[in-house]
Each structure stands twice: as structure tokens, then as C-alpha cells.
């Protein structure tokens, strides 16, 4: 591995952290904050719709592709957007930290929405920058570095944040997270460098929506493109739908914020990091077809194991082992899925096409995830507290089946892609 490739991996580890921190603070840790102060599960589920901004980011991707931001354009096209959005996230986190969600929930939600919006735009720029920084055969390494940084952000933004919040306050916790986000700007400014993309097509807004879509359909054909879109839209349903209820589940089962932070989240991080690199090995040695199938099966199986935890007494060892297996699967799937989506993108439309594909990947999950609190409460009304949680996890596990079947019965698509690449 040469110095340039190593530098790229280090840089995208930092970008993974910058991408993951606002996401985990809004999608994961925020749910613990709200449940900890007594907000209803159904309302927590609805607030998770804030994260639909990530699913709609293809709508503003053309603006990111078209030109750099004026204030920071000297850093390059992609990096100018990254710095601008990081500053917006920092300011919004500080303001959010001073708002009491019990008395000003609407204002609280609006600033959380602003963080999610800025985070989604930052992701567009980072994803396009990553795709433009290396050839397809090296994308697995960059994806692994990105995922590693992302998982570090999850440790900091969930485990450390929960422990800090229990010992100090939620307000100070989010202020500290803003400081860490500010430090990460150094990665953008000093560690990474950017070259212009000569293949990037500069189009007006209408063309920016139509031309990349037309390109995708022409390259794959309507039938194969439709199958790929359905696979993308359903592949991560299981873990995205269960996401808003993860921390509320731990809290409802009697675990303290410190226990969740020290045991659950740290175990999850270590297991996920291992899974990230296993995912990279899978892609290299097994190819996308087998890797996608294995990943989907592992996520379904490990998610199902939470149903067992829900009907047992509080047991940190049991929960930690289940979380470890689930996080290992999530790490594998994360790397495999990034490589899969990257393989479908044209260098002419990197920002828009990758944003569109990741939007398709998350939209159904985020949409159903908004009802996750209602699902849990409905199951609990039917079957009681513990068996209600168990039913919820059985339900989310079954959501992995459609994508598994579509991948299995369309092996030729992935074989043809591997042959071309």
C-alpha cells in the first residue's frame, strides 16, 4: 500500500467520524435523551422522521455537484461543502443543547432537523469525494476506513455521550459533541487534498435530476435497474426500522445510561469494527453476490436474537453477547452495502447517483421507522410488555426476507457486474 492510499484511508476515517457523529446524535442518542425524560415511544418514533432528510438528499445533491460554496471554494469543490455543513452542524448542536424538549419540543425538533439536513448534505459531498478519490478496486479500503471512523463516532456519540449525560447533563453532552465536530474540521483542511473530477457533468437543476437517472437506466436497462432498486430499497430495512427503538428498549428493560454506554455501546463498537473489516475481506474474496446474501442472513438472524433478550430478566452478559453478534453483522453489511452502491455509480454523476441510491436504501426504513414506537405499543397492547418487544423484533427480522430472495434469484446480475468490473 503506497503513501497516497494510506493517506486516503486515514482521511476517510476522519470523514467517517464527521459523517457518523451528527447521525448518531440525532437518530440514536436523541432517542435515549427523550425516553430518559419520559417522552412516549410513539412520539419518539415520529421524531425519527427527521432522519428522512437523509432519504431525500438526492433532491439537493445537484446543488452539491454543480459548484463549491463561495466561502470555502479554495479548499476544492467537495471539501468546501463539507466544511460549510460541519460549521452548520456545530452551531445547531450548541443551540440544541440549551433547549428543553419537554417544554419546547417543536423548537427542539426543528434544530434537530437542521442538524440532520446539514448532515445529509455533508454526506453527499463526502460520498462523492470518496468515489472520486480512488478506483473501484480500492473502494473497499476507503469504505472500510470510512466505516471505521463512522463506528468511532458511534462510540463517542452514543456510549461516551450516554455516560457523560448521566454524570453531568444532556446539555453539556451535546456541547462537547459540538467541540469534537469542530476538531474534525482539521481533517478536512490539513489531512486530505482534492483534485477536480474532469468527468463531472455540470447541469442545471432539471438536468441534474433527469440525466443521472437516465444514465442509470441506460447502463442497466429497465428490468435490471428495477430489480437493483428494489434490492437497495429493502436491503437495510431490518436494522433501520428497529433503530429508533434500540435505546428505548435498553432503558425499558431496566438498564441505566452508564450500563448502556459502558457495556452495550462499547461491545457494539468493537464488534462492528471487526465486522467492517470482515466485510471488506468478503467483498474481495467472495464477490458482491455472496457477500450481500451472507450479510442479509446475518442481520436477520442476529436481530431475531433480541426477541430472546426481551423475555428474559435483565442480564448484561446476555445483552452484550446479542449486541456483539448484531453489531458484527451490521459492520459486515455496512462495508458490503457501500461497495455495492459504489459499483452502481457513474463517475459523471457521482454526487447525485450515490445520494439517490443511499436515499432509496434508507427511505422505506425511515418511513416505517417513524411508526416503530406505535408498532411496539400495539404489540404490547396485544401481548404484554415483554412479548410486545419480542413480537417487534420478530417483525423487524422478517423484513430482511424480501431482499434475500431478490438477491438469491437474480445471481446473474451480480455475476455480469463482476465480469464487467
Higher pLDDT: 289 or 61? It is 289
What does pLDDT average to over the chain? 88
| Residue 137: all three cell numbers together | 478496486
pLDDT beyond 70 at 398: yes
Give Rg (Cα) of the chain.
Answer: 20
pLDDT at 333 over 50: yes
| Angle CA 236–239–242, to nearest 5 | 135
Residue 192 pLDDT class (50, 70, 90 cuts): low
Give the integer Cα–Cα distance in Å for 394 and 241. 12
Query: Tell me, what's the pLDDT at 2?
Result: 58
Which residue has 465480469 as its cell numbers? 419
Alpha-helical regions (H) of 236-265: 237-242, 246-252, 257-259
| Range with the largest mean pLDDT of 70-84, 117-131, 224-238, 264-278 | 224-238
Confidence bin at 348 (pLDDT 50/70/90): confident
- pLDDT band, very low/low/confident/very high, at 419 (cuts 50, 70, 90): very low
Q: Which residues contact 319 (CB under 8 A, 6 or more apart)?
A: 250, 253, 255, 263, 264, 309
Q: Which of 351, 346, 338 is nearest to 59 (CA)?
A: 351
* Backbone torsions φ then ψ of 183, nearest 5 degrees: -65, -30
Q: What is the pLDDT of residue 136?
A: 61
Q: Is the pLDDT of residue 292 over 60?
A: yes
Average pLDDT over residues 347-351: 77
pTM for this prediction: 0.80
Distance CA 232, CA 244 (A): 20
As given in the structure block, the three cell numbers for residue 328 are 458484527
| pLDDT at res. 317 | 92
Domain ranges of the chain: 3-194+203-420
Q: Does domain 3-194+203-420 have CATH number 3.20.20.140?
A: no
Q: Using alpha carbons only, give the angle 253, 254, 259 rounded to the nearest 5 degrees.
A: 110
Please state, for a pLDDT cut of 90, what percent of the chain lies above it.
Answer: 60
State pLDDT tens for residues 241-251: 998 999 999 99
The helix/strand/coil state of 59 is helix
Place of cell 476544492: 76
- Are residues 319 and 268 in contact, defined by beta-carbon separation less than 8 angstroms? no
pLDDT at residue 133, rounded to an integer: 75
Cα separation values, 195 from 78, 80, 239, Å: 10, 13, 36
- Give residue 10's pLDDT band: very low, low, confident or very high (50, 70, 90): confident
What integer pLDDT is reported at residue 128 of this predicted model? 83
CB count within 10 Å of CB 287 equals: 15
On the question of pLDDT at 420 being above 60, the answer is no
Residue 45 has pLDDT above 90, yes or no: yes
pLDDT given for residue 204 in this prediction? 66
Q: Give me the mean pLDDT over the 8-29 stretch.
A: 89
- The confidence score (pLDDT) of residue 174 equals 97
- pLDDT, residue 162, reads 94
What local confidence, expressed as pLDDT, does residue 138 receive? 64
Q: What is the pLDDT of residue 5?
A: 65
pLDDT tens digits for range 162-191: 999 999 999 999 999 999 999 888 877 766
- Which tens digits make up the pLDDT trace of 116-160? 999 999 998 988 888 777 666 666 677 778 878 887 898 899 889
Summarize the confidence of residues 83-106 as an average pLDDT.
95
| 346 has pLDDT over 90 | no
Task: Please state, in angstroms and rounded to a whole number, the distance separating the CA atoms of residues 273 and 251.
Answer: 25
Amino acid at each position: 500500500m503506497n503513501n497516497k492510499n494510506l493517506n486516503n484511508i486515514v482521511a476517510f476515517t476522519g470523514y467517517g467520524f464527521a459523517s457518523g457523529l451528527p447521525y448518531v446524535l440525532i437518530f440514536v442518542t436523541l432517542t435515549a435523551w427523550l425516553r430518559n425524560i419520559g417522552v412516549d415511544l410513539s412520539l419518539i418514533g415520529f421524531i425519527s422522521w427527521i432522519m428522512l432528510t437523509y432519504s431525500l438528499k438526492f433532491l439537493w445533491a445537484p446543488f452539491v455537484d454543480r459548484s463549491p460554496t463561495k466561502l470555502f471554494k479554495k479548499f476544492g469543490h467537495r471539501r468546501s461543502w463539507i466544511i460549510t455543513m460541519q460549521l452548520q452542524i456545530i452551531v445547531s448542536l450548541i443551540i440544541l443543547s440549551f433547549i428543553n424538549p419537554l417544554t419546547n419540543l417543536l423548537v427542539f425538533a426543528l434544530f434537530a432537523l437542521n442538524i440532520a439536513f446539514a448532515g445529509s448534505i455533508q454526506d453527499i459531498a463526502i460520498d462523492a469525494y470518496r468515489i472520486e478519490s480512488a478506483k473501484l478496486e480500492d473502494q473497499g479500503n476507503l469504505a472500510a476506513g470510512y466505516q471505521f471512523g463512522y463506528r468511532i463516532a458511534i462510540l463517542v456519540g452514543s456510549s461516551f455521550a450516554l455516560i457523560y449525560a448521566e454524570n453531568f447533563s444532556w446539555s453539556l453532552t451535546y456541547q462537547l459533541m459540538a467541540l469534537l465536530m469542530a476538531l474534525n474540521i482539521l481533517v478536512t483542511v490539513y489531512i486530505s487534498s482534492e483534485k477536480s473530477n474532469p468527468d463531472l457533468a455540470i447541469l442545471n437543476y432539471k438536468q441534474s435530476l433527469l440525466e443521472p437517472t437516465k444514465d442509470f437506466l441506460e447502463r442497466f436497462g429497465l428490468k435490471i435497474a428495477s430489480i437493483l432498486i428494489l434490492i437497495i430499497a429493502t436491503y437495510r430495512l431490518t436494522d433501520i426500522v428497529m433503530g429508533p427503538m434500540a435505546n428505548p428498549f435498553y432503558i425499558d428493560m431496566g438498564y441505566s445510561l452508564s450500563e448502556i454506554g459502558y457495556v452495550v455501546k462499547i461491545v457494539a463498537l468493537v464488534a462492528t469494527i471487526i465486522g467492517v473489516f470482515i466485510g471488506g475481506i468478503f467483498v474481495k474474496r467472495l464477490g458482491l453476490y455472496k457477500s450481500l446474501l451472507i450479510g442479509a442472513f446475518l442481520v436477520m438472524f442476529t436481530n431475531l436474537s433480541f426477541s430472546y433478550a426481551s423475555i428474559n430478566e435483565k442480564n448484561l452478559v446476555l445483552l452484550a453477547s446479542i449486541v456483539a453478534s448484531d453489531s458484527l453483522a451490521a459492520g459486515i453489511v455496512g462495508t458490503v452495502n457501500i461497495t455495492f452502491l459504489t459499483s452502481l455509480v457513474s463517475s459523471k454523476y457521482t454526487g447525485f447517483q450515490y445520494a439517490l441510491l443511499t436515499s432509496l436504501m434508507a427511505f422505506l426504513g425511515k418511513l416505517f421507522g417513524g411508526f416503530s414506537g406505535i408498532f411496539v405499543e400495539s404489540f404490547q397492547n396485544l401481548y404484554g410488555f415483554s412479548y410486545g418487544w419480542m413480537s417487534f423484533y420478530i417483525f423487524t427480522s422478517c423484513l430482511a426476507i424480501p431482499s434475500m430472495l431478490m438477491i438469491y434469484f437474480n445471481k446473474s446480475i451480480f455475476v455480469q457486474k463482476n465480469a464487467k468490473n
